[in-house]
Structure 1
Amino acid sequence: MGEDLHSFVQKHDDLQFKDNGKVHVITTGHDCPPRLEAVKEYLQSFKYKRAVELRGHDFSQYEPFIVQHKKKKGKLYSVLTGHTLNQLPSEVKAEIEGRRYKRAFAEYQEIEKKMEAKEEARKAKKEKRLAALAARGEGDGTTGDGDEDMGVADFDESDEDDEGEEEEDEEMEAAGEEEDEDRLRGKALARASFEQREKDRKEAFISKHVPKSLQGAALRQTEEKEEEDSEEEEEEEESMEEEDEDEGEDEEDEEEEEEEEEDASPPPPVEKHVEGKGNKVSLQSRQANQKAAPTPHQVDKKQNQRNGGTERKPFGEGERSAAGGKAAQRDPVKQKKQDSSKGSSAFLKGKKVNKGPGGKRLV
């Protein structure tokens, strides 16, 4: 057995014997007992395989999109998708080849292209301005003694002020562009992380409530539904933009029509003032008062005067009183009570009433 262990250690470059007789693993620094079964078992363990896989692998090549996790030691973090990864090249490769990572990376590249185009335009503008300043300085320079022989133009404070203002404007524009770019980049990253969290939540729900044989189909259905929803959202956004454009055109047309109507409308009439007993009354207001239609109150007042001063009753008041009297006469219960009371009183009037002891009436 000892010979087998010695031969196994000699064949394996990652193993060596220590002074105490144990077998030392160079990659992990682990010491195994001097038994062949124990050494083979450790070499087949996940810890050793992971250490061998990580040996000589540099994860910094994936930065800035995959970085070290801030809170979890020994983990990696995907900035584009929000995934927490183990420090395994296989997991990192699967993350990079994933659909969500590729989509977020494409959005990031689009933003970078826009930033580069803006930076190139800014540099071209700056070079053009410097060339114009140089040409103006050469045109002002003259040949002669002293500084003029060297081609140095006269110093002009207004030129320096203009240059300072232009530089400040360019700095402000660059700062605004950087803020917009940071905002777009953060928006893209936030969107990618939100989508990844939603995906993780759905996958956890499916793995918990759906049988294993149907989990793949359920995941495919959810992905298809998400794609359909994203297409519908894009169509809605396009339709909203078209509606906004149409509304803007309609508003412009309405404003143009209003301006045309205002231009075509006649000028306001000129008021003519007539002098009276110390005050001035406009002729236009007097004519408007004369031509104004009478109010309902004025009509009622004239009608009452024609009827001899009698006040006009509200509509339906007389009808309600008459209807109430007829209803009282036609009530059978009241009519019966009235008839019975009249008959009994007439009967008692014709006869003598005898009263017994206690004041009771005897008929």
Structure 2
Amino acid sequence: MTTTRPTFLDGAILAAADLGSLETIGRDRDARHARNLHTPGVCAGMALEKKDAKTADGRDYVDVTLGLGYAVDGTGRELVVANEVQLSPDRFFDDNPNPPLESGETFSVWHPVFVRGFDQPLAGSPAQGQCANGPGRGGVEELVEVEFGRPGDPDRDQPLPAPDAGPGSGAWRVLVGFVRYDPGIRRFTAVGSTADGVTVSRAGAAASLVAGAGRVELRTRSTADAGVPVVLLDSVPAASLTFGTHDGTGGVAPLLSVDASGNVTASGTLRGLQTVGSLRVLSGTASDGTVLPLPDGVDQAAVDSGALVVSVVVSPHLPTPRATTFFVPRTCEVDADRRVSATGGWVDLAANTVTDEAASCDFLVLVSVAEATP
């Protein structure tokens, strides 16, 4: 099936359907663009906001409101909330008459809150010369309704329209948050944006290519406030890839950058897997009983698996001599768990005595990658 658009000829008589098709064509085209080049979700606002309250007998609950906002569903339909919507506990009970409760609690597990959009025709206004509603100007109101789902609903697949279709009829639901409900008082008790590993999804771009005029910027917020993470792909003055944060004045503080030659510059510590031939080193002083740490970025699991080899060198750390005594090391070693055993004693020649005590040692930890077995 193919899409069509109307054409008009001079002198032709236009019917209402001819003019209405112009609006339908544009709306359907926008919907196809939205669902094929963007991912569904919340674009702006639409946050669940709570207000603490108490019942007449002093039990805590919250009134929940859906804030103003804009979203796009998976069919490409726009969802606009122009006025705050008070969430109805009674509607929740109608949708979930027996909600599962948290173990040992009086309130329910997290339940998802959705919005969906649908069309509602408006009554036509009288045509000129008529005194009753009839043929004349009409309209369609694009409404948004709040629905309460059950645990697991956010993970369910929702059907897509045919490739040539416009926006859906309102069956597609967009997740805006989660609520807990207390059946005993028939009120909400909490709101959230994440539950059971699912987070309210934000609308995004579904594209394999993002191109710009010499510079492409990707950041987590629409405004470049201080501290907002940013990824820059730039060609001026030379090709570079930078990860950093905005400084709030238009600049970017680089945390990690790669230049056109592949050179990496990092302001922090590089962590990750080592390559064959590389060596990581850590040195210091440790007292008796201490477990020697691994160099920064070395994973203990990789050591346990045999992928990394740890070598340790220790030597006695001699304390400052005293007026009439001197320190003699007795043990200075580490076991398989890198636990230090360091002891010694102070020898007093005049009194012919030895006073034992725990000691310290200087250590050097070297970590290398095990050679592959042929």
Q: TM-score, normalised by structure 2?
A: 0.15
- Mark the structure with the bigger radius of gyration: 1
Higher strand proportion:
2
Higher helix proportion:
1
